Amino acid sequence: MKRLMTSALALGALTGALTGAARAADDFTLQLKWVTQAQFAGYYVALENGFYEEEDLNVTIRPGGPDIAPPQVLAGGGADVIVEWMPAALAAREAGLPLVNVAQPFKSSGMMLTCLADTGITGPEDFPGRTLGVWFFGNEYPFLSWMSTLGIPTEGGPDGVEVLRQGFNVDPLLQRQADCISTMTYNEYWQVIDAGIAEEDLITFKYEDQGVATLEDGLYVLEDRLSDPEFEDRLVRFVRASMRGWKWAEENPEDAAMIVLDYDDTGAQTEQHQIRMMTEVAKLTAGSDGTLDLEDYERTVATLLGGGSDPVISAEPEGAYTLDITEQALAD
């Protein structure tokens, strides 16, 4: 009887502990820059594989879209952390929204300009007089800085380029409304291929190769929240679990793509496209443990400052990043 009572007490204590642990899970919301796709696989992997749960986090992942600006969501209290490109984040910081980079899962840029070979474009020197498709809503900053570096005006004319405000599709190239369009190595470029244009009929200019690549898909929070020890603790746990997710996704690209598809409520994504996307994204996250590389940061800042009379940012940022969160995440 004593043994039964002891067992019952032990079971009750265990149940209570488990219940307490369940209650202790901290809510945490991530706002993505774009829709559910393999570009964000690391976060979905961490959610599906229980990495967040192991860190006592109850994470909600909110997909983005063409009408969603992550910095605005963060400013309005709709998320704890966002995925954003550094040019947009630094521009927002200079404009008064104090975004801080707390982790950088993407080591390399996937952005490029894709041109039809039959236009005769073989190098940037052939851009003047051409129509180039450019994404806006903060995504135009790397392009504008690149053109400024080249000394090419973006207001049209024989010595400049005509900028076409490109939607988030590849139609301007397919319909020959533009000589070149903005693409990502893991997404729109392959949409062009899938539309029937052969790779040999395309000319691509990777921002990395042109020396004007800027950092993409970093994690950002509002500066004042970093003074809250409880928030900082949740953030450290989130970054640690997320980087576990990214490394798992790199090593298991097909499985990671399948996980992403499970979370795509729209049904718009396909297995082939997501596996291919994850394979390409893994090349961009390779070599990163989540820590911001200061050389990459300085190159990004230099590119954004090099905008001639109309730079993306007008002064060297101060306090725009912290290494404390990743240092704690890696140390633990």
Residue-wise pLDDT tens digits, 181-201? 999 999 999 999 999 999 999
Is the pTM here over 0.85, yes or no? yes
- Same domain, yes or no, for 101 and 226? yes
- Same domain, yes or no, for 104 and 229? yes
Measure the CA–CA gap between 183 and 49, rounded to whole angstroms. Answer: 31
Token pair belonging to 95: 């404009």
CA distances from 167 to 15, 97, 140, 172, 173 (A): 53, 26, 12, 9, 11
pLDDT the model gives residue 124? 95
The domain tally of the chain equals 2
Q: How confident is the model at residue 1 (pLDDT cuts 50, 70, 90)?
A: very low
Report helix, strand or coil for 315. coil
- Same domain, yes or no, for 60 and 95? yes
- Same domain, yes or no, for 273 and 258? yes
- Same domain, yes or no, for 87 and 155? no
- Same domain, yes or no, for 76 and 12? yes
Last residue of a domain, one of 191, 210, 229: 210
pLDDT, tens digit, 9 for 90 and up, residues 285-310: 999 999 999 999 999 999 888 766 56
Residue type present at position 316? E
Q: Lay out the sheet containing 111-116: strands in order across.
A: 162-165, 131-134, 180-184, 111-116, 202-206
What angle (nearest 5°) sits at the alpha carbon of residue 301, between those of residues 218 and 82?
Answer: 20
- Same domain, yes or no, for 246 and 197? no
- Residue 9 predicted with pLDDT over 90: no
**If you write DSSP's letter for every residue of 65-132 in order, what string do you get?**
-TT--HHHHHHTTS-SEEEE-HHHHHHHHHTT--EEEEE----S--EEEEEEGGGT--SGGG-TT-EE
Last residue of a domain, one of 162, 178, 210: 210
Please compute the mean of the pLDDT values over residues 125-134 and round it to a whole number: 96
- Same domain, yes or no, for 104 and 194? no
Measure the CA–CA gap between 313 and 276, rounded to whole angstroms. Answer: 35
Last residue of a domain, one of 210, 235, 266: 210
CB 245 within 8 A of CB 290: no
- Same domain, yes or no, for 13 and 90? yes
Sign of the C-alpha dihedral computed for residues 54, 325, 20 and 8 taken in this order: positive
pLDDT the model gives residue 4? 35
* CATH number, residue 119: 3.40.190.10
Count of C-beta atoms within a 10 Å radius of residue 308: 12
Share of the chain above pLDDT 90, in %: 80
- Same domain, yes or no, for 130 and 94? no
pLDDT the model gives residue 309? 58
Measure the CA–CA gap between 83 and 30, rounded to whole angstroms. Answer: 8
- Same domain, yes or no, for 101 and 223? yes
Question: Which residues form the domain of 55?
Answer: 2-108+215-331
- Same domain, yes or no, for 104 and 219? yes
pLDDT the model gives residue 20? 46
